[in-house]
Chains A and B, each alone.
Chain A
Amino acid sequence: MIIDLHKFISEERESWERLEAILDELEKNPARRLVMQEIKEFHYLYERVSADLVKLTSTVAERDLRAYLESLVARAYGEIHETREQAHRLRPLEWFLVVFPNTFRKYVRYFYLSLAVTIAGCVFGGGAIALDPQSKQVLMPFEHLLGSPKERVDKEETVGFDHLRGQKVQGAAWYMTHNTKVSILTMAMGVTWGIGTIILLLTNGIMLGAVCADYILSGQSVFLLGWLLPHGSVEIPAILLAGQAGLIIAGAVIGWGNRVSLKLRLRAVTVDLVTLITGVALMLIWAGIIEAFLSQYHKPVFPYELKIAFGCIQLIVLTVYLSRSGRSQSKHDAGDAGPAKADEDGAEI
């Protein structure tokens, strides 16, 4: 095709600039919704610019112009052919009360698997300590746990009123960031077909089981509960949820019984993974505060009964929240339940 470039540019420039203006506006404000008239105009401009690009493709001249039109069409293509649900404006309360617990329940079988792996680790760790107390050196990598539980309890119960004064806030910050990193790694390891996630959950379980067995066998069960329950009742479920997220990735990577492609399987779970890991991070922020400000203080500063009761109540509230919250909304949106399946064009069906 032979085209008069100067005439072509002067005639078409208005359409290009109008399309660019609409795209700029949409990109600046993702929540903006076009009305029907605007949609018609947008679609018309997209097709017109696409046609201009085809005309230019047949000539070698104006490489920069072609690159400009290509970028316009590429941007418009992304807007027009995007079939996934638009990101909603952030509604924290709705997210907390409905979206997060519903997402947890949607993939609850992965949570049970995560729990089962951790329990298996606990049984192994506890059994190892019961059968061979010397294995403590190997199973517990933390120096402060290697001594005798009785001696530790005696020491903790005789320290002053506020022995962590001036260290609590940084302690809380360390717990939050360290545990969040571990949780993200637990989730991310799902990409190794879940092997990495399972290893991390198992390791956590082994350490937890070993510590518990060590304290129970030394007759320090009450101290153990008072020490672990206040923060552990949130921290351990958070790690289990991170494991759940990791196993969701593993499920998408492996794709048993799912005939859609790997890309679409992964695409279908991406938003849910972000929801779960955000929830995990929030849980760990809370657990970090409790661990620094409550868990590390023992009798006589805080009676064990009070700490145990606090931990139990927290665990009950968390269980009720994750199992019940947003259920009515979930029934209302019954069509969304279950892992999304996607057709080859990326549209959720």
Chain B
Amino acid sequence: MKNARKILTIRTPEGIVFPMTIAGPIARFVALVIDQVVIGLLSMFVNAVVKTLSSISFDLAMAGYTITAFLMSLGYPIVFEWYWRGQTVGKKVMHLQVIDEQGLRLRFSQVVIRNLLRLVDMLPALYLLGGAACFASAHGQRLGDLAANTIVVYHPSLSEPDLDQVMSGKYNSFRDQSYLAARLRQRSLPTEADIALRAIMRRDQMDDVSRLVLFEHIRKHFERLAEFPVEITEGISDEQYVRNVVDILFR
């Protein structure tokens, strides 16, 4: 399946490469909705304070409300993105972060400009202009991002896979072959390791025939990378073989 996600690759002069996943417009829109809810809740709180103060001076209370509402709508993303290093509440929930386009430190002026230019991105309604720019831009940038040289990236939550279910405390005979185990680690690509791990994690979702065929294919593939002695591979099922491989690769 083709991966529709846009990727920004940052290469440092030292030859280190960082792949950054660009956040999609839908995730960004959801984050925006969450932020609007937060602003709405804050406004309700301010409104309650204003009602209390209006008994002292209605004029002052209304002025306070007008200015606070204005500062909240404009200042909320600026303050949060600056102090939380590119994140607001909505972005935190959606695992999104604003970063400098070149991977450099995000600067205050960038945060301000990208948020002030929201006023244009919002036009004519519901962020249509910003959304269109997002779809058209190679790095998914709205107009504010283009002007401020920022991008919004997605940080997937890297949860530790539940490896206990891979072996369930069983003895792994492959581990005795330390040289072959090291070779397996060296020759396996991360994507291949992921496929093997996911196959085991999702084994119960497959019907029997599909499961047998899949594990047979995966076993054949890994056998070509590192050939373990026949005496330890003979008699173990394809699925157990793959479990042993995953145990070697991920532990």
Chain A contact residues, CB within 8 Å of chain B: 1-2, 27, 47, 50, 53-54, 58-61, 63-64, 67, 70, 73-74, 77-79, 81-82, 84, 87, 166-170, 172-174, 176-177, 180-181, 184-185, 187-189, 191-192, 196, 249, 263, 266-267, 270-271, 273-274, 277, 346
Contacts and interface: CB of A to CB of B under 8 A. Distances in A.
Contacts of A81: 12-13, 104
Nearest to B143: A191
A53 B116 CA distance: 38
A274 B18 CA distance: 30
B139 to A, nearest CB: 10
Interface of B: 10, 12-16, 18, 57-60, 62-64, 66-67, 70, 74, 85, 100-105, 107-110, 112-113, 116-120, 143-144, 146-149, 158, 160, 182-183, 185-186, 188-190, 192-193, 249-251
A84 B185 contact: no
15 contacts: A27-B85, A60-B188, A60-B193, A61-B249, A77-B16, A166-B59, A168-B59, A170-B63, A184-B74, A185-B119, A188-B116, A191-B143, A263-B149, A270-B148, A274-B112
A73 B16 contact: yes
5 nearest A-B residue pairs (beta carbon): A173-B63, A170-B62, A173-B66, A177-B70, A169-B63
Nearest to A74: B18
Nearest to A80: B12
B188 A50 contact: no
Contacts of B189: 60
B107 to A, nearest CB: 7
B119 A78 contact: no
A47 B14 contact: yes
Contact of B67 (A59, A177, A188, A196): A177
B59 A87 contact: no
A270 B113 contact: yes
Contacts of B12: 50, 73, 77, 81
B137 to A, nearest CB: 12
Contacts of B113: 270, 273-274
Given A54-B16, A59-B186, A185 B109 contact: no
B109 A78 contact: no
Contacts of B16: 50, 53-54, 73, 77
Contacts of B146: 191, 266
B103 A78 contact: yes
B116 A173 contact: no
Nearest to A2: B182
Contacts of B18: 70, 73-74
Contact of A266 (B103, B149, B185, B250): B149
A27 B86 CA distance: 13
Nearest to A79: B105
A188 B250 CA distance: 50
Q: Which of B57, B146, B183 has the most CB of A within 10 A?
A: B146
A63 B190 contact: yes
Contacts of B116: 184, 187-188, 277
B60 to A, nearest CB: 5
Contact of A74 (B10, B60, B67, B193): B10
A67 B156 CA distance: 11
Contacts of B107: 84, 87, 270-271
B221 to A, nearest CB: 14
B59 A60 contact: no
B120 A1 contact: no
Given A169-B63, A191-B146, A82 B104 contact: yes
Contacts of A50: 12, 14-16
A153 B100 CA distance: 55
Contacts of B251: 61
B249 A188 contact: no
B62 A173 contact: yes
B170 to A, nearest CB: 20
Nearest to A66: B190
Nearest to B71: A177
Nearest to A49: B16
Contacts of B102: 346
A110 B105 CA distance: 30
Contacts of A166: 58-59
Q: Which of A63, A64, A167, A174 has the most CB of B within 10 A?
A: A63
A61 B120 contact: no
A249 B101 CA distance: 18
Contacts of A180: 70
Nearest to B191: A60
A61 B250 CA distance: 5
